[in-house]
Amino acid sequence: MDFALNEEQRAWQMKARSFAEEEIAPISLARDASPTARDTFDWEIIRKGSRLGFRTAAVPKEWGGHGTDFVTQALVMAELAKADSAISKTFSQCWKWSHLIAAVCTDEQKERFLKPFLADDTFLLGKGITEPGAGSDNRMPPEDDPKAGLKLRAERHGDEWILNGEKAFIANGSVAKLFFLDARTDPNALLRQGTTMFMVPSDTPGFRVGKVFNKSGWRFYQNAELIFENARVPHANVVGAVGGADMRSHAAGDRTGGDLFGDLELAANALGVCEAACAQALGHARTRKQGGRYLAEQQLVLLKLNRMHMLTEALRSFVMRVAWEHDRKLHSPNAGLAMNFSTDVIQEVTELNMDIHGGVGCQMDRSADKLVRDGFIWSHLAGDSVQRLKVAKRIAK
Amino acid sequence: MYNLHLSVEQLEIRDTVRDFVAQTIRPAALRPERLEAAERLPAWDLLEPASRIGLRALALSEQRGGAGADTLTCCLVAEELAAGDVDCAAMLNETSTLARLLFDRLMTDAQRDRLLPQFLADDRYHLAFAGREPDAGAELGINYHRPAASEAAMPITAFRAANGEWVVSGASSRVANAPVAKLVAVRVAAAERACALLVPRDTPGLSVHRDADAHGWHHGTCGDVIFNDCRVPADNLIALEHPGAAGADRACAKSIGTQRAAMNLGVGRAAYEAALDYAQLRVQGGRRIIEHQAIGAKLAEIAIRLEVARAAVWQAAWAADHPEAVADRSLPDLPLAAIARVFTAEAVYRVAKDAAEVFGAMGVMRDMPLQKYVRDALIFLHSGGGVSDAKLGIAETLAGYRRPSAPMVRAAE
């Protein structure tokens, strides 16, 4: 077993670290403090990061991307998240779907969508699954109920599909130029069989963005409503086959476009947040004095520091192992377990950091507070009971 | 005899406050602009009606115009109010508890005759006490099982002017209720004696600065109080160096601590009620989500934590109202108020997180209440010394350790 990074991996890590420290960290708290959801966003950081390759890191080299491996991707996500979890996620959200484009799009589709994506520093990608009445039902559809799950309807008219309905909480919703959308093409079939994935550019007629959700954590990350009123999408924009939105059932070469990357993504991002929390807690304990002595001289403070570092290092081992397994195409429930585990770790570690900062009058350190709010996002993305049951079902199968 | 019946009066008060919260407080507290606000300003549209039904003077004795509520009754009310709006609850509790301390226990008849009518007549008349707890901020962590080594805060001083007036100078930071107080009591060091002075808000030289940082980590409202050669009449002096005064102050501290736990419980209950309602409405996986084991068990855990916390709070409150129950060994001689506060803070944070998880993504939306309950629970967990310091305080009591302390407490012992 070898944990050493090769030169290329190390170079990406260092590049991400300095970008995070020099460019992301200085704007992170101000973006977080912006009162409205749309105003948290900052195109300048996206352009700067894009020029360094953080937007297109996962696109294969033969298509003009950087072709980074999963180990590199995990390292970069963690480094960026160390400065701001939501900004890291905004970049890696594009990787998630560049995996998919590379895996299942036709060459003609790659020409039309991958090339402009590579050429434009502000070209972000989004994916729309969740709807107001369908969250968990999309992740774990009931086996006998065709009515459960997403409702966005797509009906074919000649060479076009007409889309009607809405999506909610869609990542990069208000800023993406291209969406991968799951829509019902057969309302009488079960979710997995009756759903088709479409590529929908943001300027599609009949498609508009509704409200941007104002969240307590991950404030930079834009989750929006997408509204479809007779939106017209060419048949040429169908991803894979009609009735084949579930990439795991699709015979598509490298099938890491969907959940597999997403699981690693959340775990690696959490690792960065935990590193930030450890660094903050350690810095505070070493510099803040109480009664003339440093906090780090107190047993209770040391015990908290111990637990924070223990959990963070355990998560790091798990994340790197999963990334390494992905690179070797060893697919197992480990990625899902790492994602579930990262929920427990990010929340406990950021809470302990707050605890070490706490108790000072009526104030709370803004950074410590932000990390707890960001960490709480994992509760409904990565560590809710459905996400745990899904992984367990795979283990028990 | 073991008896957990609430009195008819207590049940009536609880029902009245519960109705008031449902009809008046909750609809206002759930407005997005209040849920999202980084700094929640005093909601006079809620505080005034609350005062009109007697909640501002709840603990003040009946003969002086209050409701004469004991600690347990105050806790019942605090839970109900906080289940609606924790900031209103915190402000009303502070004033009500200080009304009992100042008007019933510490003031002379002449002082009371002068000040009480104004207090009773004005629904916006709130009270604050600067420096009431000399040990607050003593930073127990570093001083565990040791005499306090912390650099002492600059005391507020007072001297007697030639015309007999008292002249107060100094500052006290983060005084609860200061921004809304029309009367500020301040503990001063004057001629080696522990005493307090009553300073009306409009006294020249008195200024209050609301916590300018919108990131205030407290419930209710608090601010820095500054006395700049502030002159008050000679008969505004309150003597604190007699056993009656010290006993009153200790009872007040215990009562505030226990009511704090009750407010914390109210936050947990609001989260629980929201999650229980939603789990019976939301359908996923072909059935209401409460019918799924994962959600059902989570709601059961929430209910268990809240019930056990409530038992601890009620026991602490009842013990405060019946000191004889410790004397006759019915109750253990433990710091029950601190025990209730720590258990409740930890339990309710877990409750709020679990309840928010039931809501999925809606649990983190700022125009929805769940994220606010999580935040309110976090503030209880990490403010006022936090639970870590409270545990150390409990440990010192278990070991029988007594820290040489400030004059007022020393005078009592």
Residue with tokens 């759903």: A195
Q: What is the pLDDT of residues B302-318, one digit of tens each?
A: 999 999 999 999 999 99
Report the C-alpha gap between B367 and A35 in whole angstroms: 12
Helix (H) or strand (E) holding A35: none
Sort residue B38 into left (φ over 0), alpha (ψ -120 to 50) or beta: alpha
Closest partner residue to B365 (CB to CB) among A215, A292, A361 is A215
CB-CB under 8 Å, B364 with A216: yes
Q: What's the mean pLDDT in A329-342?
A: 92
Check if the beta carbon of residue A198 is closer than 8 Å to that of residue A163. yes
B136 in contact with A at a CB cutoff of 8 Å? no
Sort residue B137 into left (φ over 0), alpha (ψ -120 to 50) or beta: left
Report the C-alpha gap between B212 and B214 in whole angstroms: 6
Nearest Cα to Cα of residue A55 among A177, A218, A227? A177
Return the residue in A284, A379, A393 with the most chain B beta carbons within 10 A, the one to mutate for interface testing: A379
A125-128/A178-184 β-pairing: parallel
pLDDT of residue B40: 73
pLDDT of residue A11: 98
A179: exposed, middle or buried (C-beta count within 10 Å: 0-12, 13-18, 19+)? Answer: buried
Arithmetic mean of pLDDT over chain A: 90
Sort residue A356 into left (φ over 0), alpha (ψ -120 to 50) or beta: alpha
B8-124 against B140-239: fold identical? no
pLDDT of residue A260: 67
pLDDT of residue A362: 63
DSSP B138: -
pLDDT of residue A257: 42
DSSP A215: B
Residue B349 CA, distance from chain mean position: 18
Nearest Cα to Cα of residue A95 among A277, A229, A278, A260? A260
**CA-based nearest distance A362→chain B, Å:** 5
Residue B128, CA distances (Å) to B97, B112, B217 in order: 10, 16, 18
pLDDT of residue A252: 38
pLDDT of residue A139: 80
Find the helix packing angle between A43-51 and A85-104, rounded to 10°.
50
**pLDDT higher than threshold 80 for residue B197:** yes
Q: What's the mean pLDDT in B383-396?
A: 86
- Between A230 and A261, name the one with better pLDDT: A230
Facing residues of A387 across strands? none
Residue A260, CA distances (Å) to A61, A137, B100 in order: 21, 19, 62
Amino acid (one-letter) located at B155: P
Q: What's the mean pLDDT in A291-308?
A: 93
Query: pLDDT band for position B225 (50/70/90)?
Result: very high
For A354, the closest chain B residue by CA position comes to B382
- B243-412 folds as Butyryl-CoA Dehydrogenase, subunit A; domain 3 (1.20.140)
Check if the beta carbon of residue B106 is closer than 8 Å to that of residue B64. no
Q: What is the pLDDT of residues B314-361, one digit of tens each?
A: 999 999 999 899 999 999 999 999 999 999 999 999 999 999 999 998
CB-CB under 8 Å, A144 with B294: no
Architecture of domain A259-396: Up-down Bundle (1.20)
A118 Cβ neighbours under 8 A, 6+ residues apart: A56, A59, A63, A64, A65
- A7-119 folds as Butyryl-Coa Dehydrogenase, subunit A; domain 1 (1.10.540)
Arithmetic mean of pLDDT over chain B: 90
Which residues of A fall within a CB distance of 8 Å from B36? Answer: 35, 214
CB-CB under 8 Å, A130 with B361: yes
Q: What are phi and psi of B215, to 5 degrees?
A: -95, 30
Report the C-alpha gap between B311 and B368 in whole angstroms: 29
CA angle A226, A231, A237 (to 5 degrees): 95
B residues 64..123 contacting A (CB < 8 A): none
pLDDT of residue A241: 84
Check if the beta carbon of residue B75 is closer than 8 Å to that of residue B317. yes
Please spell the DSSP secondary structure of B184-205, one letter per residue: EEEEEEETTEEEEEEEETTSTT
**CA-based nearest distance B238→chain A, Å:** 27
Which residues of B fall within a CB distance of 8 Å from A223? Answer: 361
Check if the beta carbon of residue B118 is closer than 8 Å to that of residue B166. no
What is the rounded radius of gyration, in angstroms, for the C-alpha atoms of chain B? 22
Superfamily of domain B140-239: Butyryl-CoA Dehydrogenase, subunit A, domain 2 (2.40.110.10)
pLDDT of residue A256: 40
Question: Which of A168-182, A245-259, A358-372 shows the highest mean pLDDT?
Answer: A168-182
pLDDT of residue B319: 93
Report the C-alpha gap between A7 and A1 in whole angstroms: 18
Q: What's the mean pLDDT in B111-132?
A: 95
Write down the pTM of the prediction. Answer: 0.94
Poorest-confidence range of A163-177, A318-332, B16-30, B32-46? B32-46
ipTM above 0.90, yes or no: yes
- Between B327 and A246, name the one with better pLDDT: B327
pLDDT of residue B299: 98
Return the residue in A362, A370, A388, A390 with the most chain B beta carbons within 10 A, the one to mutate for interface testing: A362
Poorest-confidence range of A42-46, A146-150, A221-225? A146-150
Report the C-alpha gap between A80 and A84 in whole angstroms: 6
pLDDT of residue B133: 66
Helices (H), B58-184: 71-84, 86-99, 109-121, 140-143
Q: What is the pLDDT of residues B132-144, one digit of tens each?
A: 765 555 567 778 8
Q: What's the mean pLDDT in B246-267?
A: 89
Query: pLDDT band for position A213 (50/70/90)?
Result: very high
Residue B285, CA distances (Å) to A247, B31, B111, B289 in order: 21, 31, 67, 8
pLDDT of residue B152: 55
**CA-based nearest distance B41→chain A, Å:** 16
Residue B222 CA, distance from chain mean position: 12
Side-chain half-sphere exposure of B212, counting CA atoms within 13 A: 3
Report the C-alpha gap between B52 and A46 in whole angstroms: 55
A15 Cβ neighbours under 8 A, 6+ residues apart: A52, A53
Helix (H) or strand (E) holding A252: none
Query: pLDDT band for position B155 (50/70/90)?
Result: confident
Tokens coding A277: 């929390």
**pLDDT higher than threshold 90 for residue B32:** no
**pLDDT higher than threshold 70 for residue B151:** no
Q: What is the pLDDT of residues B11-21, one digit of tens each?
A: 999 999 999 99
CB-CB under 8 Å, A144 with B360: no
Facing residues of B172 across strands? B225
**pLDDT higher than threshold 50 for residue B79:** yes
Q: Does domain A125-249 have CATH number 1.10.1660.10?
A: no
**pLDDT higher than threshold 60 for residue A255:** no
Residue A382 CA, distance from chain mean position: 10
**CA-based nearest distance A149→chain B, Å:** 8
pLDDT of residue B149: 61
CB-CB under 8 Å, A290 with B139: yes
The SS3 call for residue A161 is: strand
Give me the residue spans of the domains in chain A: 7-119, 125-249, 259-396
Percent of chain B with pLDDT over 90: 70
Count the Cβ atoms, other than its own, within 10 Å of residue B151: 11
Closest partner residue to B356 (CB to CB) among A137, A223, A379 is A379
Nearest Cα to Cα of residue B209 among B167, B158, B175? B175
A51 Cβ neighbours under 8 A, 6+ residues apart: A121
pLDDT of residue B310: 98
**pLDDT higher than threshold 60 for residue B411:** no
pLDDT of residue B146: 83
Which residues of A fall within a CB distance of 8 Å from B361? Answer: 130, 135, 168-169, 213, 223, 380
The SS3 call for residue A158 is: coil
CA angle B405, B406, B412 (to 5 degrees): 85
Query: pLDDT band for position B145 (50/70/90)?
Result: confident
B147: exposed, middle or buried (C-beta count within 10 Å: 0-12, 13-18, 19+)? Answer: exposed
B10 in contact with A at a CB cutoff of 8 Å? no
Percent of chain B with pLDDT over 70: 92
Report the 3 state secondary structure along B6-61: CCHHHHHHHHHHHHHHHHHHHHHHCCHHHHHCCCCCCCHHHHHHHHHCCHHHCCCC
- B8-124 folds as Butyryl-Coa Dehydrogenase, subunit A; domain 1 (1.10.540)
Report the C-alpha gap between A12 and A79 in whole angstroms: 10
Q: What are phi and psi of A248, to 5 degrees?
A: -70, -20
**pLDDT higher than threshold 50 for residue B365:** yes
Query: pLDDT band for position A140 (50/70/90)?
Result: confident
CB-CB under 8 Å, A135 with B139: no
**CA-based nearest distance A69→chain B, Å:** 31
Q: What is the pLDDT of residues A306-332, one digit of tens each?
A: 999 999 999 999 999 999 999 998 888
Give me the residue spans of the domains in chain B: 8-124, 140-239, 243-412
A7-119 against A125-249: fold identical? no
Tokens coding B229: 């050669």
**pLDDT higher than threshold 80 for residue B191:** no
CA angle B51, B54, B84 (to 5 degrees): 65
B217 in contact with A at a CB cutoff of 8 Å? yes
CB-CB under 8 Å, B284 with A135: yes
**pLDDT higher than threshold 70 for residue A142:** yes
pLDDT of residue A144: 76
Nearest Cα to Cα of residue B84 among B12, B37, B14, B24? B24
pLDDT of residue B134: 55
The SS3 call for residue A206 is: coil
**pLDDT higher than threshold 70 for residue A119:** yes
pLDDT of residue A246: 60
Helix (H) or strand (E) holding B229: strand B222-232
Report the C-alpha gap between A130 and A384 in whole angstroms: 15
Q: What's the mean pLDDT in A78-91?
A: 98
**pLDDT higher than threshold 50 for residue A283:** yes
Residue with tokens 């999202």: B36
Check if the beta carbon of residue B347 is closer than 8 Å to that of residue B309. yes
Query: pLDDT band for position A242 (50/70/90)?
Result: confident
Query: pLDDT band for position A4 (50/70/90)?
Result: very high
Which residues of B fall within a CB distance of 8 Å from A363? Answer: 213, 215-217
Sign of CA dihedral B25, B31, B33, B35: positive
DSSP A271: H
pLDDT of residue A348: 98
Nearest Cα to Cα of residue B339 among B303, B369, B315, B366? B315
Helix (H) or strand (E) holding A43: helix A43-51
Tokens coding A68: 């980074």
